[in-house]
Structure 1
Amino acid sequence: MHSNEGLGSGMGSDADVDVLAQLVADAEGAADAARLAQIREVRVLAAAGVLAEKQAAGAAERVKAREMALRGIAAELAGVFVATDRTLQRRIDEARDLVENYPVTMAAWEDGRIVRGHVRVIQEIGCLVPAEERAEFERVAIERCEGETPNRVRDALRMIAERIHPRSFTERHEEAAAGRCVRVQPGPDGMSDLIATLPTVIADGIVDRLTRQAREIINARAQADAPGTPDTRADANGGSPDADTTIRDGSSFIDDARTIDQVRADVFSDLLLTGSPALDPTGTGDGDGTLGAIRAHVQVAVSALTLMGQDEGPADLAGRSPIDAATARELAGNATSWDRLLTHPVTGTVLECDAYRPTAAMVRLLRARDRHCRFPGCRQPAIRCELDHTIAASDGGPTHVCNLANLCKRHHDVKHHTRWHVRQLAGGRLVWTSPTGRVYREDAPPPLVAFTTGTPSDRRGDEAQPSGVFPPRSPGRADAPPGSAPPF
């Protein structure tokens, strides 16, 4: 929370900025050339697939004939692309699928409205949408992609695809949940992968709890390594240790150099095998420590109609994929507290947040408003970010939602230690300016959940047209459709 003023020469001189500006211009030219080359490659590979189909036409065993023709063509092209024929055969199939089944996406790519990363996401998620609905999915998806990085739009596009699907997300989730299982996949060197196929909200909660427990262990290890730290644990007879005894001398962390992934895996094993972590640095004597009290946290946005059982659309698990309505209702029912989000009826921007504890309302509102790090292109969930004063408090910036935003540690440092600058406008909109003067607008992302105006029984009937089921469009385009209402 410091001003950018007075930063040292490490920031770079004006001459350096001029050099950077030229590099940016060169990068733009290179990006355009690369895009055209990528498009040409896709069309060449798609044409190769069509040629294989043509060569197999009229053959007695058409399926086998097409496969042999495709193998031969792939082997020919493999020498040009310096790849295996198997790889080329897969790329030919992908290219043909893209050219033939996603014409609107190809046109937008050729016009420079989207980049290769957007195309991959649209093609990957578009396979969830029935063919007769795909053109509508493409149209909405492309509008959502413009002005955003591919990693930012993935969750929104998945939510759009789920909404367009003629069967409700809840129905499909119930079928998929019947296949939940745990299995072991043997690996080399005496290791195996333990794979659990679980509902997303359960899997995400498990990883969250393991991560926070692992960080607690690593933090305790750092304290144990600090010389002269008193050992507050009781000795075997229940008495206090000598005054000169330190945690380091009696610690279980001597020579412990495990990474967070290794600690997470060890805690996971301990929990499943013993019910609680075998190593709890916060435990004292025979008493329980704090590790066992750590519980998983997930951040979910769900519409009011879904909570009331009048809509079966998916809820939004922040930073992850959608979750089914039944799970969202269960989480809301079991939660000790939850927040009501009041959103703008047109743009969907979060305007207010009701909270039980007034002292925490500001943090909760900002998490609800921002959802992720507000630096351009970053999607680190807000619950993993730091609150930053847009105008530093030392410069008179108020501690108010109009002057605060969530930034991850990496981009918090970028803001305060480089020539990047940011202004905050009404509604939580951030305007970032790069060292070369390029401007990036970051609107506060509305929750991805919304609801339809039709009856619960309406799915995709001829008369039941969805309203308010898509997120507001990207900056610079038309507002969200009227009729959308505030999600919770």
Structure 2
Amino acid sequence: MKAKPQIRDEAITGLEDATRNIRVAEATRLEHLARGYGAVTGGDMATRAYITEAALALGVSEPRVASMLGLAVFLTDTYRDTHALVRTGEISLRHAEIITDAGMVITNVTAAGVDQAAIALALEQDELAEQRRHAYEQEVLVYARELTPNRLRPVAKRLAERWAVEPIEVRQAREAKKRRVTVVQLGEGMAELRAYLPAVQALGLYDHLTRVGRAVKRGLIPAPARPEGLGLGAEQPEPTVIDADGTGSGAEAPDTRGLDELRADAFYALLSRDPFDAAEAAAHSTGAELQGRVQLVLTAAGVDALLNTHGGTITRDSNTPAGDVKCELKGYGPIDIESVRPLIAGRQQWDLVTVCTHTGTVIRTDTYRPNKSQERFLVARDGHCRFPGCVSPVYRSEIDHTIDAALGGHTATDNLAHLCRSHHTLKGNSDWTVRQLAGGVLEWTAPSGRIHIDRPRDLLPEHRASRHTPKRKVRFQPTVREPEVHPF
């Protein structure tokens, strides 16, 4: 009879093999989809008929087939190296979706007019965009091989930005004019309220609702009321604690709602009150005093850009040269620095981070008022929970001693790393083990004995990726003036 550790090891091996086979099968499925689409003739109705039949064959919706078809065309026609890695199972289809989605900013600017000069200009811009996409693909695949999809997304956005034909400032200003709130009617008496907002606002609001939910769970603030009409259609009574004698004490029982439910109820409570009724606002102030948090990264170049545009002065405590990056919203990607100027202006203190241009890792941190230097360094180095694949931000994580202090572990940055509460608990109460190597690299050992390496986030992915990009004898010579190079 096999021992349990052996059974578990064989199970993990089986999962790895099955995952690789699924990736290969997904690539094959996309190839069949694209091949069939290439044989469609007869216009839009023929295409729709093909998509309908493909949806029945795949057992998915027609919109999903249309999305898959778009990805299939991109992979077979444009991102061929990405397609090759998906076919061999080295990366997943989700990796490919993130790569192609981020690469959408690398496109041609449509020329105005229909004369021959405009057509020639459009063709030249198409060729330029194709060359840029190829360069972007070679850079992003360096990271796709080693990052999980959720960690790859902001890196892919940053790398794609430096090859974009239009800078982020122009694109974000154009999209900001389309901001809106819409309702999507669903089944079972439900609907979705969707808001199309600048990313910094959307992430800030979501964090606000999350903080409300967590504060309610900890009993720090009053719980938002349950919207009327939920359940069986009648108003639900507040739960009470039942004493041993069978009588109710009248004390409120712990709130049993999940975090998603609390977010939704807090969202409704904060928006549904009358802002002009002071009494009502005071009675429904659940979480109103909390603020959403976002993490912004500016470089000296970004600060200088603001000072050149709006004036003012700033005192630096080092001679760190200005870089090319302007502003990045952590967990999302590059954004227009002007769109967050009020947030920047309202911050009295910023941490200064010195980054190695060759590796993208943090060398040191400093500040205008030196305090908690280790915390500043770890926040800059880690950026998120350091368990492999986790992207929980540092402000929802705890600083953990890799070697426990009770076991002689020293309190220094080479023995400290951020872990979210879930993975912090896992580290101390399971067979997972970790040791910290040079440069803040964490070597995690799974219960099966498999090694998983988690490296500190690369703050300058374009530098590392460009060293792995094959040199091509291509000269970019557009006939129109190129925008400034954006290194995100």
Q: Give me the TM-score of the superposition, normalised by structure 1.
A: 0.73
Trace 1:263-274 onto structure 2 (pairs within 5 A): 263-272=262-271, 273-274=273-274
Does 1:316 find its partner at 2:328? yes
Q: Deviations over 1:239-291 (max 9, x none)?
A: xxxxxxxxx9787x56854443444344434444345563468xxxxxxxxx5
Structure-1 separation of matches of 2:419 and 2:5? 25
Trace 1:157-168 onto structure 2 (pairs within 5 A): 157-168=156-167
| From 400, 405, 413, the counterpart of 2:417 | 405
Offset, 1:340: 0.5
**Alpha carbons 2:159, 2:461 under 8 Å: kept:** no
Q: Deviations over 1:20-65 (max 9, x none)?
A: 222232233323322332222221111101111xxx2xxxxxxxx1
Offset, 1:183: 4.4
Question: 1:184–1:40: structure 2 CA closer, same or farther, 3 Å change rule?
Answer: closer
Offset, 1:320: 2.6
Question: 1:80–1:295: structure 2 CA closer, same or farther, 3 Å change rule?
Answer: closer
**Alpha carbons 1:319, 1:380 under 8 Å: kept:** no
Other structure's SS at 1:308 match? helix
Per the alignment, residue 97 of structure 1 pairs with 74
Structure-2 separation of matches of 1:186 and 1:27? 38
| From 272, 283, 286, the counterpart of 1:278 | 283
Per the alignment, residue 346 of structure 1 pairs with 358
**Alpha carbons 1:183, 1:194 under 8 Å: kept:** yes
Q: Deviations over 1:314-365 (max 9, x none)?
A: 5221223432121344433220211101112321211222235655332232
Offset, 1:104: 1.8
Question: 1:207–1:278: structure 2 CA closer, same or farther, 3 Å change rule?
Answer: farther
Offset, 1:412: 1.3
Per the alignment, residue 149 of structure 1 pairs with 148
Q: Deviations over 1:102-129 (max 9, x none)?
A: 2121122234432222112112222222
**Alpha carbons 1:338, 1:355 under 8 Å: kept:** yes
| From 372, 375, 378, the counterpart of 1:366 | 378
Offset, 1:80: 4.2
Per the alignment, residue 286 of structure 1 pairs with none
Offset, 1:87: 5.1
| From 469, 474, 486, the counterpart of 2:487 | 469
Question: 1:24–1:220: structure 2 CA closer, same or farther, 3 Å change rule?
Answer: closer
Does 1:20 find its partner at 2:16? no
Aligned residue identity for 1:156: V
CA RMSD of aligned residues (A): 3.4
The percentage of aligned residue pairs carrying the same residue is: 33
Structure-2 separation of matches of 1:296 and 1:44? 46
Q: Deviations over 1:133-174 (max 9, x none)?
A: 211121111112111111110111012222211221112212
| From 433, 436, 447, the counterpart of 1:424 | 436
Structure-2 separation of matches of 1:99 and 1:212? 44
Structure-2 separation of matches of 1:332 and 1:75? 50
Offset, 1:205: 1.6
Does 1:36 find its partner at 2:15? no
Trace 1:185-200 onto structure 2 (pairs within 5 A): 193-200=192-199
Question: 1:313–1:135: structure 2 CA closer, same or farther, 3 Å change rule?
Answer: same
Q: List runs of 5+ in structure 2 lacking aligned partners.
A: 108-128, 224-247, 276-280, 309-322, 464-475
Q: Deviations over 1:442-472 (max 9, x none)?
A: 1111335889xxxxxxxx87798999936xx
Corresponding pairs, count: 405
Q: List runs of 5+ in structure 1 lacking aligned partners.
A: 1-13, 57-64, 225-247, 282-290, 452-459, 471-488
Other structure's SS at 1:33 match? helix
Aligned residue identity for 1:174: A
Greater mean alpha carbon deviation, residues 20-29 or residues 200-209: 20-29
Structure-2 separation of matches of 1:279 and 1:79? 49
Q: Deviations over 1:183-228 (max 9, x none)?
A: 455666776544333221122222222322333333227999xxxx
Does 1:210 find its partner at 2:217? no
| From 276, 296, 299, the counterpart of 1:300 | 296
**Alpha carbons 2:355, 2:363 under 8 Å: kept:** yes
Per the alignment, residue 385 of structure 1 pairs with 397
Question: 1:210–1:332: structure 2 CA closer, same or farther, 3 Å change rule?
Answer: same
Other structure's SS at 2:443 match? strand
Aligned residue identity for 1:99: T
Q: Give me the TM-score of the superposition, normalised by structure 2.
A: 0.73
